[in-house]
């Protein structure tokens, strides 16, 4: 099936993407086609003991935050603007509860995400951040205003990067000039995830450390019962890679090793963090995943 094809070719696509893909724009778009393609699948990897307890199989859905322009004079040759790529947030749902993976940059993006989660009718228990880049957690405080009982968690090494990104210097020199007046003035920093598993109605959601990908100490969230990997920025889909933190061969080898690690988990679906393509139908989008 297309998911598997996409995963098998992932490293090749990753390397070709590294050579450069133009930035384009996209609109806010929950990727329901991807979700539909998964909702129809049986939970074939569920163990006998899990079946005996008749846990509700998990499902997932993806929200794509709208692409917004970043204010900068550092433009590629021939370009007049620098759109920040759309960023995916993934909602993993059980019968009643749900876990959200990553939140976008601005208050407006995060409010749209919160509305989307609210419309799911699920009880949001946890927000998980895959890595410490601001464009994957600055929106968490806005989502938490809507879901105050949810916990916001990340691995300790991720939290270190978060603190750097949310520092007054980083905000003053990088983030606020690019998105003036759009980022929450009350950023939330995650609390430490105890262990490496988030429990969702008896299912394990496993935090997998991936080392250096587009920054240090990145992770993915792996859901064995449905073969899902939420990759954060360890995987890009149709978006030029953020390579400025990995200018040397060793760091890029580490990124490739992270892809190998995800591939070794034999996922049925991998959700890339940055992605532009809104699906024309499920198969179209699955073929482009990663
Ligand atoms: Zn990143």
Rounded to the nearest whole angstrom, what is the distance from the C-alpha of residue 202 to the centroid of ligand 1?
30
What is the rounded CA–CA span in Å between residue 44 and residue 48? 10
Rounded to the nearest whole angstrom, what is the distance from the C-alpha of residue 232 to the centroid of ligand 1?
7
Rounded to the nearest whole angstrom, what is the distance from the C-alpha of residue 217 to the centroid of ligand 1?
10
Rounded to the nearest whole angstrom, what is the distance from the C-alpha of residue 242 to the centroid of ligand 1?
7
Rounded to the nearest whole angstrom, what is the distance from the C-alpha of residue 45 to the centroid of ligand 1?
30
Residue 126: is its pLDDT beyond 90? Answer: yes
Residue 64: is its pLDDT beyond 80? Answer: yes
Residue 52: per-residue pLDDT = 53
The number of angstroms, rounded, from the C-alpha of 39 to the middle of its chain's C-alpha atoms is 19
Q: In angstroms, what CA-CA distances link 145 with 178, 209, 224? A: 24, 29, 31
Q: Residue 179's closest CA among 274, 75, 72, 70?
A: 70
End-to-end CA separation in angstroms for the chain: 15
238-252 burial string, b = 16+ CB within 10 Å, else e? Answer: bbbbbeeebeeeebb
Rounded to the nearest whole angstrom, what is the distance from the C-alpha of residue 54 to the centroid of ligand 1?
37
What is the rounded CA–CA span in Å between residue 116 and residue 34? 16
Convert the pLDDT of each residue in 196-233 to its tens digit.
999 999 999 999 999 999 999 999 999 999 999 999 99
Rounded to the nearest whole angstrom, what is the distance from the C-alpha of residue 130 to the centroid of ligand 1?
9
Report the 10 Å Cβ neighbour count for 56: 14
Rounded to the nearest whole angstrom, what is the distance from the C-alpha of residue 133 to the centroid of ligand 1?
5
20 against 9, higher pLDDT: 9
Rounded to the nearest whole angstrom, what is the distance from the C-alpha of residue 227 to the centroid of ligand 1?
23
Q: In angstroms, what CA-CA distances link 75 with 27, 175, 187, 244? A: 22, 16, 28, 14
Rounded to the nearest whole angstrom, what is the distance from the C-alpha of residue 148 to the centroid of ligand 1?
26
Q: In angstroms, what CA-CA distances link 131 with 33, 161, 219, 233, 255? A: 26, 8, 6, 8, 14
What is the rounded CA–CA span in Å between residue 182 and residue 200? 32
Q: Averaged over 66-83, what is the pLDDT?
A: 83
Residue 82: per-residue pLDDT = 82
Residue 237: per-residue pLDDT = 82
CB 28 within 8 A of CB 68: no
Q: Residue 244's closest CA among 211, 273, 210, 215?
A: 215
Rounded to the nearest whole angstrom, what is the distance from the C-alpha of residue 136 to the centroid of ligand 1?
7
What is the rounded CA–CA span in Å between residue 228 and residue 224? 7
Report percent pLDDT > 70 for the chain.
76
Model-level pTM?
Answer: 0.80
Q: Residue 57's closest CA among 268, 264, 220?
A: 268
Q: Which residues pair with 200 in a beta bridge?
A: 203
Report residue 229 as tokens: 């990997």
Rounded to the nearest whole angstrom, what is the distance from the C-alpha of residue 18 to the centroid of ligand 1?
15
Residue 73: per-residue pLDDT = 79
Rounded to the nearest whole angstrom, what is the distance from the C-alpha of residue 233 to the centroid of ligand 1?
5
């Amino acid at each position: 099936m297309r998911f598997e094809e996409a995963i098998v070719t992932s490293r090749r696509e990753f390397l070709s993407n590294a050579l450069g893909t133009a930035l384009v724009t996209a609109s806010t778009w929950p990727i329901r086609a991807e979700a539909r393609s998964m909702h129809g699948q049986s939970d074939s990897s569920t163990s006998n003991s899990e079946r005996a307890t008749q846990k509700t199989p998990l499902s997932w859905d993806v929200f794509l935050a709208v692409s917004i322009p970043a204010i900068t004079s550092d433009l590629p040759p021939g370009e007049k603007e620098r759109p920040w790529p759309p960023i995916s947030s993934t909602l993993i749902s059980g019968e009643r509860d749900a876990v959200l993976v990553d939140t976008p940059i601005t208050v407006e993006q995060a409010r749209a995400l919160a509305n989307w989660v609210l419309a799911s009718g699920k009880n949001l228990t946890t927000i998980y951040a895959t890595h410490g880049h601001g464009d994957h957690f600055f929106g968490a405080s806005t989502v938490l205003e809507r879901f105050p009982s949810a916990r916001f968690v990340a691995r300790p090494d991720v939290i270190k990067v978060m603190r750097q990104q949310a520092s007054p210097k980083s905000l003053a020199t990088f983030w606020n000039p690019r998105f003036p007046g759009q980022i929450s003035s009350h950023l939330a920093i995650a609390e430490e995830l105890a262990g490496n598993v988030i429990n969702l109605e008896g299912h394990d959601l496993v935090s997998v450390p991936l080392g250096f990908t587009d920054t240090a100490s990145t992770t993915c969230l792996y859901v064995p019962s449905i073969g899902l990997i939420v990759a954060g920025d360890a995987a890009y889909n149709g978006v030029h890679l953020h390579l400025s933190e990995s200018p040397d061969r060793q760091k890029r080898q580490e990124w490739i090793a992270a892809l190998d690690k995800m591939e070794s988990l034999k996922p049925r679906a991998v959700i890339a963090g940055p992605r532009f393509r809104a699906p024309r139908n499920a198969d179209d989008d699955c073929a482009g995943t990663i």
